[in-house]
């Protein structure tokens, strides 16, 4: 099918908010538009900035506007189930595609809404961003991983790769930056002095400084703050290993792809979808295990040939996660849902 479709892409968070859902939603909307479809992105995120996108953006729609846009759509696509945005489908039976990027709770906080979402997905065509995410759902799902910005993240030849280890992510407890400091202390105890660059910001920043000093690795830690674009790419290209020691279950882990694209070998926790994101290009260690993390870092830093062997797999792995490839796979699912409706 190549006839233009009216695609309503619903993403509760979107730019100027920053995060994985926001990035994926923008990539998909851009690529759907480039493929010739009529795309409207509907979001609950406000913005006072002028819109500068090739597709239409509707922010914080009223109930009347939401009904009008669902009626307009040939297919409604949700990046995560939103009950606030799904109710018009009770009135207009449009093909509904749901891409699951986050865990939907069945117990504890949010369980009631979570159980309703799980029940509703039986009426949708479902996409999951990883095997772990697919296994968590109540209905079958097509696994389509997340894309990375392949026009931004790349290996820049000729530069000095003189940095040891880099961490990239929001500085909050679940991301595990503190565990990376524990690994540095473990390496120090073994007579190995390793430097860590932490890129990102968040509520844990001051506690990381204090923890580093308490562990005796304060002078081995560089808190680089938030970086983006060419500046971030240049910084990643100076490091040999990227650590992703998440303590919570990551739905996917685009940061692994960004690191690999910039020539870093990932050492990641066995956490949710992270093994899918790392693929054959890195090393997976047990979650919340500073000793195992330290051992993997030590082995990779000491063995350039091992790093090179892992990165030989990068072109094929990254090719499955380009914006074009992932958007094409989404469109295959969307067009099939439209045909069979």
CATH superfamily of 6-147+322-340: Glycogen Phosphorylase B; (3.40.50.2000)
DSSP structure string for 232-280? HHHHHTTEEEEEE--SS--S--HHHHHHHHTTPEEEEES-TTHHHHHGG
Cβ-proximal residues to 102 (8 Å cutoff; 6+ apart), any chain: 21, 80, 251
Q: Could you list the pLDDT tens digit for every one of the 341 residues in the chain? A: 568 999 999 999 999 987 789 989 999 999 999 999 999 999 999 998 889 999 999 999 999 999 999 999 999 999 999 999 999 999 999 999 999 999 999 999 899 999 999 999 999 999 999 999 999 999 999 999 999 999 999 999 999 999 999 999 999 999 999 999 999 999 999 999 999 999 999 999 999 999 999 999 999 999 999 999 999 999 999 999 999 999 999 999 999 999 999 999 999 999 999 999 999 999 999 999 999 999 999 999 999 999 999 999 999 999 999 999 999 999 999 999 999 99
Q: CA-CA distances (angstroms) from residue 160 to 22, 163, 263, 282, 307?
A: 33, 9, 12, 21, 16
In the chain, where the domains are located: 6-147+322-340, 163-319
Starting at the edge strand found earlier in the chain, the sheet holding 75-79 runs 56-59, 38-43, 6-10, 75-79, 96-100, 125-128, 142-143
Location of structure tokens 């699912």: 333
Q: What is the pTM of this model?
A: 0.94
Q: Do domains 6-147+322-340 and 163-319 have the same CATH topology?
A: yes
Q: Tell me: domain 163-319, CATH 1.20.1600.10, correct?
A: no
CB–CB of 289/281 below 8 Å?
no
């Amino acid at each position: 099918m190549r006839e233009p479709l009216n695609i309503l892409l619903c993403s509760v968070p979107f730019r100027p908010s920053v995060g994985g859902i926001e990035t994926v939603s923008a990539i998909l909307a851009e690529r759907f538009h480039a493929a010739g479809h009529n795309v409207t992105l509907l979001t609950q995120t406000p913005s006072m900035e002028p819109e500068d996108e090739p597709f239409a953006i509707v922010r914080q729609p009223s109930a009347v506007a939401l009904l009008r846009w669902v009626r307009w759509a040939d297919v409604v696509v949700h990046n995560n189930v939103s009950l606030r945005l799904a109710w018009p489908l009770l009135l207009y039976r449009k093909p509904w595609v749901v891409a699951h990027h986050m865990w939907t709770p069945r117990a504890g906080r949010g369980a009631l809404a979570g159980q309703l979402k799980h029940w509703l997905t039986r009426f949708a065509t479902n996409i999951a961003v990883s095997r772990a995410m697919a296994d968590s759902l109540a209905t079958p799902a097509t696994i389509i991983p997340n894309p990375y910005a392949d026009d931004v993240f790349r290996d820049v030849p000729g530069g000095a790769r003189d940095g040891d280890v880099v961490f990239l992510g929001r500085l909050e407890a679940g991301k595990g930056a503190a565990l990376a400091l524990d690994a540095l202390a473990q390496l120090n105890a073994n007579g190995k002095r390793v430097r860590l660059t932490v890129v990102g910001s968040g509520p844990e920043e001051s506690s990381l400084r204090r923890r580093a000093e308490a562990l005796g690795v304060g002078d081995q830690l560089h808190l680089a703050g938030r970086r983006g674009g060419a500046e971030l790419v240049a910084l990643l290209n100076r490091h040999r290993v990227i650590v992703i020691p998440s303590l919570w279950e990551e739905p996917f882990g685009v940061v692994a792809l960004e690191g690999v694209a910039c020539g870093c070998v990932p050492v990641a926790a066995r956490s949710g979808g992270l093994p899918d994101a790392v693929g054959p290009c890195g090393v997976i260690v047990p979650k919340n295990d500073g000793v195992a993390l330290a051992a993997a870092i030590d082995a990779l830093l000491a063995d350039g040939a091992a790093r090179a062997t892992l990165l030989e797999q990068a072109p094929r792995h990254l090719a499955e996660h380009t914006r074009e490839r992932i958007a094409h796979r989404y469109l295959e699912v969307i067009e099939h849902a439209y045909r069979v409706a």
